[in-house]
């Protein structure tokens, strides 16, 4: 049990050192810009959040519940989005297919695209599809 207590103390002291460094950085930033800052709890070094009770606003620690009375400015974070009209298409959604010399039944063209697709069970061979390059007629061939 004594070892665990020492570990907790080490972590909390390291955490407090880190919080001091962060506070120092924020103080330097506050001197440059008059903006809202983050407050840390003095007991557990956790971030304090603003809580509004009636007309008063104060800071409260989420971890240990400690409270600080400090004037808090209300901040609202917004994100601006550009409105776009319609959808811009950069390319057609086409997949390049290999070409083979095959006679089309409709227009007698001699070139067609082809692809293989498993249309039946896995133990049977795939179906070969052809599409004419000229009239776009599609037919299939079983093996």
Residues recognised as catalytic? 123-124
Domain membership of residue 55 (yes or no) is yes
Residue 72: its pLDDT value, please? 67
* Last residue within a domain, chosen from 27, 47, 68: 68
Residue 77: its pLDDT value, please? 64
Residue 1: its pLDDT value, please? 47
Structural domain that includes position 107: 99-141
pLDDT, mean of each 10-residue run, the chain (143 residues): 48 76 68 62 86 81 85 69 77 78 92 90 89 92 78
In eight-state DSSP terms, residue 47 is B
Tell me the chain's radius of gyration from C-alpha atoms: 35
Domain membership of residue 83 (yes or no) is no
Domain membership of residue 114 (yes or no) is yes
Domain membership of residue 3 (yes or no) is no
Residue 112: its pLDDT value, please? 93
- Who's near 134: CB < 8 A, 6+ residues apart? 104, 107, 109, 111
CATH for 131: 2.20.25.10
Same domain, 107 and 61: no
In whole angstroms, what is the distance from residue 23 CA to residue 18 CA?
Answer: 9
């Amino acid at each position: 049990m004594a070892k665990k207590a020492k570990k907790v103390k080490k972590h909390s002291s390291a955490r407090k050192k880190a919080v001091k460094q962060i506070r120092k950085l924020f103080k330097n930033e506050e001197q440059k810009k008059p903006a809202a800052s983050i407050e840390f709890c003095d007991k557990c070094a956790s971030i304090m959040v603003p809580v509004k009770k009636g007309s008063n606003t104060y800071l409260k620690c989420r971890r240990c519940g400690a409270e600080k009375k400090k004037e808090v400015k209300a901040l609202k974070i917004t994100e601006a989005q550009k409105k776009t009209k319609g959808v811009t298409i950069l390319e057609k959604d086409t997949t390049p297919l290999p070409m083979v010399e095959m006679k089309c039944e409709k227009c007698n063209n001699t070139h067609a695209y082809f692809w293989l697709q498993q249309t039946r069970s896995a133990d049977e061979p795939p179906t070969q599809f052809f599409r004419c390059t000229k009239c776009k007629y599609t037919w299939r061939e079983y093996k």
